Amino acid sequence: RKEVEQDPGPFNVPEGATVAFNCTYSNSASQSFFWYRQDCRKEPKLLMSVYSSGNEDGRFTAQLNRASQYISLLIRDSKLSDSATYLCVGGSGGYQKVTFGIGTKLQVIP
Amino acid sequence: DGGITQSPKYLFRKEGQNVTLSCEQNLNHDAMYWYRQDPGQGLRLIYYSQIVNDFQKGDIAEGYSVSREKKESFPLTVTSAQKNPTAFYLCASSPGLAGGSETQYFGPGTRLLVL
């Protein structure tokens, strides 16, 4: 089993829709989690950190469920510019290395 | 502007040739990382360094070498022993222990192609 698993998609949603991605992790000792956004042929860019209490930034909300070992990303009122691949990341908290999921591709259509 | 730079953007390697990818950061970060990304796959860790003059192998270190002589620089050499080097190479840095965060920030990447 992979340490961090994501549905690769693609998720095709109409503009204005709400879409949610889940990401499961296998290491129960994981302490820190992040969502990154990666555009085609570009580097990943930090979207948001995921805290135990959840995290909201505008149209984006991230949640952590330690009991079920998954994190989620909710995007409300999808924009065409949200089209990208979203990478889920889990870390041990030991400042050593983190593990990236394969990414979930989102395509927002007009 | 603070950030991470990688050069070159594109690199062509001939069979049996060693090539070196540059990564520089001016964020004063302690930790630096090298990843490889292949189409349809996630990022795979090649090497990482938590502090100057120290580095550790990642999950796919075979055929690669690194050095960390300066805090700002973490060059990656792709040796002739790496049989399938064609990929997108990404360098990242994070504040590390001193900065109290493992949030990683990426450079723009280098695309390596084998001729």
Secondary-structure breakdown of chain B: helix, strand, coil percentages, each rounded to the nearest 5? 5, 50, 45
- Average pLDDT, stretch A35-43? 95
Task: Look at residues B27, B33, B80 and name the one whose alpha carbon lies nearest to residue B57.
Answer: B33
Q: A104 with A21: CB under 8 angstroms? A: yes
Residue A49 has pLDDT above 80, yes or no: yes
Q: What is the mean pLDDT of chain B?
A: 92
* CA B101 to chain centroid: 19
| A1 confidence band (pLDDT: 50, 70, 90) | low
| Ranges of H-type helices in chain B | 96-99
Q: What is the mean pLDDT of chain A?
A: 91
| A31 confidence band (pLDDT: 50, 70, 90) | confident
The residue whose two tokens read 């001939």 is: B14
> Terminal CA-to-CA distance of chain A, rounded, Å?
37
Chain B residues closer than 8 Å to A42 by CB: 108-109
Inter-chain CB pairs, A–B, below 8 Å: 48
- In the structure encoding, which two tokens stand for residue A18, read together? 């709400």
User: Hey, are the CB atoms on A87 and B31 less than 8 Å from each other?
Assistant: no
**Alpha-carbon torsion angle A42, B36, A101, B50, nearest 10:** -100
